[in-house]
Structure 1
Amino acid sequence: MEEIIKVLLVDDHEMVRMGLAAYLATEPMIEVVGEASNGAEGVQLAEQFKPDVILMDLVMEGMDGIEATRRIRKVHPKGKVIVLTSFIDDEKVYPVIEAGAFSYLLKTSRAPDIVQAIQQAYRGQTVFEAKVTSKILTRMMGGENQDAPHLQCTPREMEILQLIAEGKTNQEIADQLFIGIKTVKTHVSNVLSKLGVDDRTQAAIYAHKHGICK
């Protein structure tokens, strides 16, 4: 039986929270375990309830979503932060990704797409608004060093990188390649280290930018 996905809502607009909570209540496998009206409260509730997914607004009074994301990643590292905002300017996109955001959606997204993003985050798969992905790739291409770190990867590590870029979880990679989950984790760690990136999201972006995806 599938596990219930625990979700925390962090947004300073009550109507937004009410709308999200009402819609998510129609999803039998999703449970809203808490609602926060600002970043500081979001960090507190994330530590208290240990949600699987946190829907995070960016612009809020007091502690904003960027700082809240950074702190949540410290107090609850397993929680996946999905940014849900109206903003895609450079001052918001890059800092929150560096802070540890797992996915990035706009508030213009359809409700079913938000639900799908929650389900994908739970499975370890990232989702980025197309405009945000384009912005990130453009910036990376403009400042990219001529060296290609992925050339240091072994053939198996390159295979792992391709699967990461496809959004595969460690278990899915293990099943597809017929190797143990511990072996996958070791390969993933080596790939991140060789690419000089902090997480799977950055590795996936790197792979797409360099045409490594199948």
Structure 2
Amino acid sequence: MTIRLVAIDEHVLLRLGLARVAAGCQDVELAGEASTIAEATGIIAETGASVITIDAMLGGGDGIAGACRLRSEHPDLGIVVLSPVDDDALLYRALDASLSAYLTKASPASAVLAAIRHAAVAPHSFTAPGLASALDRRRGQHGLLSQREGEVLALMRDGRSLPSIAQEMHVSEATVKTYVSRLYSKLRVNNRSQALMVAVNRGLLASVDAA
């Protein structure tokens, strides 16, 4: 079976590199190239692509969100996320979105090909170099906050004010401020929006909700 691949990346050199890799393989054909999600949508439909590679930061934005859109349109599409940086937060997002594979653009051609072949046969099974270590780091993060700090974080996410949080938790506002101060210190942030961004990227809110 020939894997029909579409490369989605705004950088021409990356797409040319994938074309060269595919040219040396009997089982992989570069069926199309795109620089945006909108462009990719039509190309995937026209070519009957079975796998795509996509830049994690496509267009300086959110390639993983774009990948999720494409998966919703093509449920069995294999999706390999190529990241310009080695970032646990991006890996976790690709994993949580049930994409097929994640690796950096600095990975050797053999690793990229292995990810493409994996995505073709098991599009809903996630793989990534160093996945076990990344999951260990994620589990360690889940113990970062105390139960009460986690409760404060969840209420902050819901847009609650400090007096409202104090009332909900049956503690004084001064106590809530102490929890917030500890949160900021542990997450190394200075305000609510930064705390929530870090919490989302590290999967901390998911662990709080599951508790």
- Give the letter aligned to residue 142 of structure 2: G
Higher helix share: 2
Question: What is the total number of aligned residue pairs between the two structures?
Answer: 141
1:61 is matched with which residue: 59, 73, 87?
A: 59
Following the alignment from structure 1 to structure 2, what is the Cα–Cα distance between the partners of residues 57 and 74? 18
1:118 is matched with which residue: 116, 119, 122?
A: 116
Kindly report structure 1 stretches of 4+ aligned residues shifted beyond 4 Å. Answer: none
Does the C-alpha gap of structure 1 residues 48 and 63 become closer, same or farther in structure 2, counting only changes over 3 Å?
Answer: farther
Following the alignment from structure 2 to structure 1, what is the Cα–Cα distance between the partners of residues 5 and 132? 24
Does the C-alpha gap of structure 1 residues 61 and 111 become closer, same or farther in structure 2, counting only changes over 3 Å?
Answer: same
Please tell me whether the aligned partners of residues 22 and 29 of structure 2 are also in contact (alpha carbons under 8 angstroms): yes
Following the alignment from structure 1 to structure 2, what is the Cα–Cα distance between the partners of residues 13 and 141? 36
Q: With structure 1 as the length reference, what TM-score do the two structures score?
A: 0.59
Residue 85 (structure 2) pairs with residue 87 (structure 1): yes
Following the alignment from structure 2 to structure 1, what is the Cα–Cα distance between the partners of residues 66 and 98? 10
Please tell me whether the aligned partners of residues 10 and 36 of structure 1 are also in contact (alpha carbons under 8 angstroms): yes
Q: Which consecutive unaligned segments of at least 5 residues does structure 2 have?
A: 144-211
| 1:124-168 per-position Cα deviation (integer Å, ceiling 9, x unaligned) | 1643021x5422332135428xxxxxxxxxxxxxxxxxxxxxxxx
Does the C-alpha gap of structure 1 residues 46 and 98 become closer, same or farther in structure 2, counting only changes over 3 Å?
Answer: farther
Query: What RMSD in Å do the two structures reach over aligned CA positions?
Result: 2.2
Q: With structure 2 as the length reference, what TM-score do the two structures score?
A: 0.59
| 1:180-199 per-position Cα deviation (integer Å, ceiling 9, x unaligned) | xxxxxxxxxxxxxxxxxxxx
Number of the residue aligned with 2:8: 10
The structure with more radius of gyration: 2
- Give the letter aligned to residue 31 of structure 1: E
**Identity of paired residues, percent?**
30
Number of the residue aligned with 1:129: 129
Following the alignment from structure 1 to structure 2, what is the Cα–Cα distance between the partners of residues 62 and 18? 20
